[in-house]
């Protein structure tokens, strides 16, 4: 992206002994800041180190770090300077097209981009205009001047843009100062890229761990919760009942006739019926209720904050699933037993009561069919 020679910007030559020059102490301090950047573990902290270093070490009065968002736009995420700077620029977003246009139209000096006040455009990236007088000195820094330093990671991807203002002495920055800013931006880009890579790795690892945890709590056939999920849900329901004083309920359901279906039509047909019944049970309970498959033909519903009449109604809806004209259900029926979830009962005792109630329901319905 080379520019014609006439568009290149030339910083001021260094003046030995000048207050706007840069001595070896600055180089040493700059190395210390670079070390702090490379050891940063949080992106926001690393970006603030970058911003502070530009002001504290290089002597600019203002520094802003524009970080590339996942959308490709640029957001101001770190600022160093006067208090009013933060009021105007904090979290400001510049569309990517505007930032790229500003970088392309600016005059170049190495990796730096200088936008002189003569070409000031209101569509430039978010900028704070300092309240300083305009001087006639040709070397003076104009309030509308803008110096940008793009940051690239080790793969050559732009990760942000540094925007600096008010150079030392409010004069155009010297050649050495620009070289140091250029080096600082290069190191900052590598540091930011490294932190972003580490954060992406940690996020991916966290996602994998959540996925693995989810897999260990899911029934492979139906996708419902398994016994591990049931144990966690029951403990949570008991705790919720204890805290709120509102009881929940456990509904223990068992399919009638699955063994016969497996014997007559095979286990593939039985598995298909189990999956169809799982979907049907989920469809008739409340959205926040948890449905688990805990045995070959057993389903358990954990319902929080539910009254006894509502529990009875839910049990009736579960039994009436068999009335649906759906061949996928395999012609099976469902026996259901209920137990209240209170804050003073052990989860295993609640589950046992619901299991006993289910067998009582199964026996009662068998006698009714006899």
H-only helix segments in 2-73 = 24-38, 43-56
Q: How far apart are CA 150 and CA 63, in angstroms?
A: 13
Q: How many CB atoms lie within 10 A of CB 114?
A: 20
Q: How far is CA 20 from CA 117, 320, 363, in A?
A: 21, 86, 95
What are the tokens at 331? 């012609």
Burial call 289-317: b when 16+ CB within 10 Å, e when fewer:
bbbbbbeebbbbbbbbbbeeeebeebbee
Q: Quick check: helix, strand or coil at residue 325?
A: coil
Q: How crowded is residue 125: how many other Cβ atoms within 10 Å of its Cβ?
A: 24
Contact 89, 79 (CB under 8 A): yes
Return all residues near 345 (Cβ < 8 A) that are at least 6 apart.
238
Residue with tokens 């309240």: 131
Nearest CA-CA partner of 116 in 153, 86, 141, 91: 141
Find residue 299's DSSP bridge partners.
253, 293
| DSSP annotation of 296 | S
Which residues participate in catalysis according to the annotation? 297
Question: H helices of the chain, where?
Answer: 24-38, 43-56, 83-89, 96-105, 175-216, 227-244, 258-265, 267-284, 308-319, 347-369
Closest CA to 225 of 286, 273, 289: 289
b/e per residue 169-196 (b: at least 16 CB within 10 A): bbbbbbebbbbbbebbbbbbbbbbbbbb
Contact by Cβ (8 Å): 74, 68: yes
Asked if 321 and 280 count as a contact pair (C-beta separation under 8 A), the reply is: yes
């Amino acid at each position: 992206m080379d520019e014609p020679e006439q568009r290149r910007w030339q910083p001021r030559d260094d003046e030995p002994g000048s207050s706007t020059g840069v001595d070896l102490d600055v180089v040493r301090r700059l190395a210390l800041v670079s070390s702090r950047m490379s050891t940063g573990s949080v992106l926001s902290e690393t970006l603030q180190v970058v911003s502070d270093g530009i002001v504290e070490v290089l002597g600019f009065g203002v520094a802003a770090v524009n970080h590339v968002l996942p959308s490709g736009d640029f957001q101001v995420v770190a600022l160093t300077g006067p208090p009013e700077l933060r009021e105007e620029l904090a979290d400001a977003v510049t569309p990517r097209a505007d930032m790229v246009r500003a970088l392309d139209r600016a005059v170049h000096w190495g990796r730096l981009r200088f936008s002189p006040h003569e070409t000031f455009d209101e569509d430039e990236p978010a900028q704070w205009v300092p309240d300083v007088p305009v001087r006639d000195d040709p070397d003076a820094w104009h309030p509308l001047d803008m110096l940008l330093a793009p940051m690239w990671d080790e793969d050559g991807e732009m990760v942000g843009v540094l925007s600096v203002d008010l150079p030392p002495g409010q004069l155009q920055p010297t050649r050495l100062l620009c070289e140091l800013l250029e080096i600082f931006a290069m190191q900052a880009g590598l540091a930011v890229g490294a932190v972003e890579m580490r954060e992406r790795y940690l996020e991916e690892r966290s996602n994998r761990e959540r996925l693995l945890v989810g897999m260990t709590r899911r029934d492979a056939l139906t996708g419902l919760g398994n016994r591990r999920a049931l144990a966690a849900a029951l403990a949570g329901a008991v705790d919720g009942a204890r805290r709120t004083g509102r009881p929940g309920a456990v509904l223990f359901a068992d399919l009638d006739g699955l063994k016969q279906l497996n014997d007559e039509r095979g286990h593939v047909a039985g598995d298909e019926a189990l999956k169809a019944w799982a979907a049907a049970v989920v469809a008739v309970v409340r959205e926040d209720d948890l449905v688990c498959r805990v045995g070959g033909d057993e389903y358990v519903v954990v319902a929080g904050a539910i009254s006894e009449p509502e529990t009875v109604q839910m049990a009736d809806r579960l039994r009436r699933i068999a009335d649906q004209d759906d061949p996928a259900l395999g012609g099976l029926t469902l026996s259901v037993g209920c137990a209240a979830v209170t804050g003073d009962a052990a989860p295993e005792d609640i589950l046992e009561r619901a299991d006993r109630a289910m067998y009582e329901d199964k026996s009662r319905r068998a006698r009714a069919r006899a």
